[in-house]
Structure 1
Amino acid sequence: MSSLLFEQFKCKGLSLENRFVMAPMTRTFSPNGIPGDNVAEYYARRAAAHVGLIITEGTVTDRPGSADNNNYPKFYGETAINAWKNVVTSTHRAGGKIAPQLWHVGMIRKPGTGHNPDAQTDGPSGITHSGKSIMPAPTDEEVADMVSSYARSARDAKTLGFDAIEIHGAHGYLIDQFFWGVMNKREGKYGGGFIERAKFAADVIRECRREIGDDMPIILRWSQWKQQEYTARLVETPKEMETFLKVFVDAGVDILHCSQRRFWEPEFENSSLNLAGWAKKLTGLPTISVGSVGLNGDFFGAFAGQSSQAAPLDKLYEMMDRKEFDLIAVGRALLQDPEWVKKVKEGRMDELKDYDGKALSTLY
C-alpha cells in the first residue's frame, strides 16, 4: 500500500486526514430538490469511515433551467438550503469534510423537465451537440446571470459551513458546453478559440471567489470526454493543455479535478502521465484523479445497470508513490460500500465488494 494515500492534505483552509475523495455521483433521492435525512446519513456514513473529502452529487444553481430531473437536489430556496445545512452538520459530526458540486446541466435538459418545467433551456449558443440550432443564443445579460448563479450558490455554501466548493465543468454540461467548440458558436465574449471559450468558467471562478473569500478552496472539475461524445478532446497536446488551464489558474482556482474514464490511462503519447498528472505538472496546482478506481469496468456500463468486480489497487499505489497527483476520487466502489476507504486503510482487501448495478437505485 502507498503510505501517501493516508497522509494528510492541506489547501488553504481545507485540511484532510487522507488523500481519498468521494467522487460526485448523480443521485435522484431529493424529491422536489430537497435532500432529506436519508441523504445526510448517506454522506455521514462515508465521513465516519475515513473518506477524506466528500464532494456531493451535483446540486443545481438557481437558474430556472439548471436541472432536467425533479429529484436532483437544489442549491437555492430556503427549504433546500436548510436541508443542506443538515447534510453539512451530519458530515462534520461524523468527522468528515464536504464540498458541494455546483451544477447546471445546460443543453442536456429537455424542455418541460426539471424543477421549473416552463423555463427555457440554457446553453452557449442554443445549439445541440449534433450542430442543430433549437433556440436563439442567449443574450449577454442571460449569460452573465448564468455566471452569477454559481456565485450565489458559492455564497450559500460558505454560509452553510461547507469546507470547499467544486464547480462542475466536465462531462458535457453547461460549462463544458462553453468549452466545446461544437456547441459554443458565440460571437464576442466567451466565443472563438479555446482560450476565449474557457473564460466563461474563469469568470465563474472569479465571481465565486468574491463571494467566499480567499481561504475556502475552489475545485474545478473538467474532462476531455463528453457524454454526448466520448472521444471528444478539448486539447490535443501538453502545450494546449497548459494554455487552457492557465486561464483557470489566473482566475484563482485552487484544485483541478481531472475526470477520465480510467485513471491509469496516459493522456498523451510518449508519457505515462494521466490527465491529472499532466495538469499537476503543467500548473503546479494540486490535482484530483478519478476513473474506475478499485473496479474492473468503467462507469458507462454502470449507467446501463452493469456490474463490475473489485480490482487490485497496485496501479494507484504506484502512481501515488510517484506523486503524479495529490488526491484520488473514488466513485462506484464508495457508492456500493461506505466503508471502502476504511477497509483499504486496514488492509482488508478481501472484503472489498464488487459493484452491483442496483446500487444506483439505493443509498447504501
Structure 2
Amino acid sequence: MQRYEDTLFDQGHISNHILKNRYIVGPMTRVSSEADGTPNERVHRYYERFAKGGFAAVMTEGTYPDTMYSQGYENQAGLATEKHAEAWAPIVRDVKAHGAKMIVQLMHAGGQSQGNYYKDTSVAPSPFQPPKPMVEVYGGQGDFPVAKELTKDEIEDVKDGFVQSARYAVSAGFDGIELHGANGYLLDQFLSENINKREDEYGGSIENRLRFLVELIDDVRDAVGEQMMLGIRISQLKATNGTYKWPGGEKDAEVIFSTLGKTSVDFIHLSDDDATTPGFGEGTMTMAEAAKKYSGKPIIGCGNLSDPEVAAQFISDGQSDFVAIARQALANPDTPNRVLENKPLDDFDAGSIMKPKAYVKDHELDQPLTENE
C-alpha cells in the first residue's frame, strides 16, 4: 500500500472519539428539507450514502438552531424543535450504523440570512448589509436587507438557542457539534472588525470580538458535557466577500487560535479556498499551520484537498489531522472506498451539480446542491 494511503487510513482521535480514517464530509448547504426545517427522506439518503462510502465522519449542512433569526435559507434544515430532533434521529442512527461519526453544524446566519420561515428581518452584531447580492442558486434574489443590531438581551437569546439546539443534538444521537464561526455567518460577523462596530464588551478589540464565540463555546459545553465532540469552524473568507483577510494577518491568527485553544473545543475546522497555500500573504503559514501552532487542538483542513496525495501530504507535514472534502464528495460519495481500492475519482462538475432544488429530481440524488468548501 502506498504511503499516502497509509496516512489517510490511519485511525485518528478527536477527544474520546476514534475516527476510522482521516476523511470527513464537509458541511454543504442543501436547501432540501421541508419548509419548516424538518429533514426528510431525501436528506436521509443524502447523508447515509457518505457513510456507506467509507467516510470516518459526516458533517451536516449548516443547521439553524432557533425559531427566531438564525435561519439563512428557505428549506434549510433546522435543529430548533423536538420535531426537528425526532426527524434527525433515524438519519443519525443509519449514518452511525455504517461506522461513521455524525456531527451537526449549528449555524446562525445573522445578517447573511436570505430566507427565514419564522422572521422577516435579520440581525447582526451591528447594522450590516452584506456587500454582494443574495445567492440565487439558494433561492435568493436582489440585495440583502440591512440587518438590525442585536441588543444584549437578544445576544443572550441567541446563546440560549444554540444551547437548546445542542441539547436536541444529544437527544438525536449526534456524536458531535460544530459551531459555524466561518464564512460570514453570525459568529464570524462578531469576529470581523469590518462588520462588528459595537462599542460594548462585544466590539472593538479582537479580544472583545472573540468574547461572544468564547461564551457560546462555554455555554454549549456546559449543556452537552464532556463526552460529545465540540468544535468550531473558522475562516477568513466569507460567502459574500471571498477576498477578505484578517487585517492583522498572523498576529490576528495568533490571538484567535490561542484564545480558542484555551476553550473546551475538541477541534478547529478551517475553511479556505486552498488549504495548502499561505494564509496571510507570501511566505506566511497556512491557516491550518497557524491553527495547529497556536491552539494545540486537532485540526480539520478544508479547501482544495480532493487529491489524495495532496491531502496525505498535508497531514504528514503536521498541518492538519483530518481533511474535509465537499465538492469531491458530491462527485464521489464513496471517495474513501475508491481511494482505498485505488479506483479513479470522478471530477466535480459544477454545471450538473449546482442546481436549485426545484430542478433536482430524486434520481439525481447524487448531484445535490452545494456551497463552497
Q: TM-score, normalised by structure 2?
A: 0.86
Q: CA deviation at 1:255?
A: 0.5
Q: 2:204 aligns with which of 192, 206, 220?
A: 192
Determine if the alignment matches structure 1 residue 342 to structure 2 residue 337. Answer: yes
Contact 1:8 1:15 in 2 (8 A): yes
Q: CA deviation at 1:237?
A: 3.4
Amino acid aligned to 2:79: F
Amino acid aligned to 1:114: N
For residue 355 of structure 1, what is the aligned residue in structure 2? 348
Determine if the alignment matches structure 1 residue 151 to structure 2 residue 144. Answer: no
Separation of aligned partners in 1, 2:147 and 2:97: 47
Per mean C-alpha deviation after superposition, the further-off stretch among 254-263 and 318-327 is 318-327
SS of residue matched to 2:149? coil
Q: CA deviation at 1:235?
A: 5.2
Determine if the alignment matches structure 1 residue 106 to structure 2 residue 110. Answer: yes
Amino acid aligned to 1:191: G
Amino acid aligned to 1:359: I
Separation of aligned partners in 2, 1:238 and 1:273: 8
For residue 248 of structure 1, what is the aligned residue in structure 2? 260
Contact 1:289 1:328 in 2 (8 A): yes
For residue 59 of structure 2, what is the aligned residue in structure 1? 55
SS of residue matched to 1:251? coil
- CA shift in 2, pair 1:183/1:273, >3 Å: closer
Q: CA deviation at 1:253?
A: 1.4
Contact 2:131 2:241 in 1 (8 A): no
Q: CA deviation at 1:14?
A: 1.6
For residue 223 of structure 1, what is the aligned residue in structure 2? 235
Separation of aligned partners in 1, 2:147 and 2:275: 37
Separation of aligned partners in 2, 1:135 and 1:108: 8
Gaps of 5+ in 1: 295-311
Q: CA deviation at 1:18?
A: 0.5
Within 5 Å, give how 1:1-364 maps onto structure 2: 1-2=3-4, 3-32=6-35, 33-110=37-114, 113-118=115-120, 120-130=121-131, 134=146, 136-234=148-246, 236-269=248-281, 271=283, 273-294=285-306, 312-348=307-343, 350=344, 352-357=345-350, 358-361=352-355, 362-364=364-366
- CA shift in 2, pair 1:313/1:15, >3 Å: closer
SS of residue matched to 2:270? strand
Q: CA deviation at 1:130?
A: 5.0
Residues 287-317 of structure 1: per-residue CA shift (max 9 Å, x gap)? 01011222xxxxxxxxxxxxxxxxx433223
Residues 171-211 of structure 1: per-residue CA shift (max 9 Å, x gap)? 00111111111111112121111111011111110110001
Contact 1:41 1:90 in 2 (8 A): no
SS of residue matched to 1:21? strand
Separation of aligned partners in 1, 2:316 and 2:259: 29
- CA shift in 2, pair 1:270/1:29, >3 Å: closer
Residues 28-82 of structure 1: per-residue CA shift (max 9 Å, x gap)? 1102211112211211111122101111111101141212322100112222111
Q: CA deviation at 1:234?
A: 2.5
Separation of aligned partners in 2, 1:90 and 1:242: 40
Separation of aligned partners in 2, 1:219 and 1:227: 20
Q: CA deviation at 1:252?
A: 1.5
Amino acid aligned to 2:103: A
Q: CA deviation at 1:340?
A: 1.3
Number of residue-to-residue matches in the alignment: 342
Q: CA deviation at 1:271?
A: 4.7
SS of residue matched to 2:124? coil
Q: Give the percent of matched residue pairs that are identical in Structure 1 and Structure 2.
A: 30
Separation of aligned partners in 1, 2:247 and 2:48: 38
Q: TM-score, normalised by structure 1?
A: 0.88
Contact 1:277 1:287 in 2 (8 A): no
Gaps of 5+ in 2: 133-143, 356-363, 367-373
Separation of aligned partners in 1, 2:150 and 2:270: 29
Contact 2:54 2:100 in 1 (8 A): yes
Larger RCO (CA within 8 A; separation ≥ 6): 2
Amino acid aligned to 1:199: R
Measured on the aligned residues, the alpha-carbon RMSD in Å equals: 2.0
Contact 1:169 1:221 in 2 (8 A): yes
- CA shift in 2, pair 1:127/1:261, >3 Å: same
Q: CA deviation at 1:107?
A: 0.5
SS of residue matched to 1:31? coil
SS of residue matched to 1:225? strand
Q: CA deviation at 1:318?
A: 2.1
Amino acid aligned to 1:104: H
Separation of aligned partners in 2, 1:343 and 1:37: 26
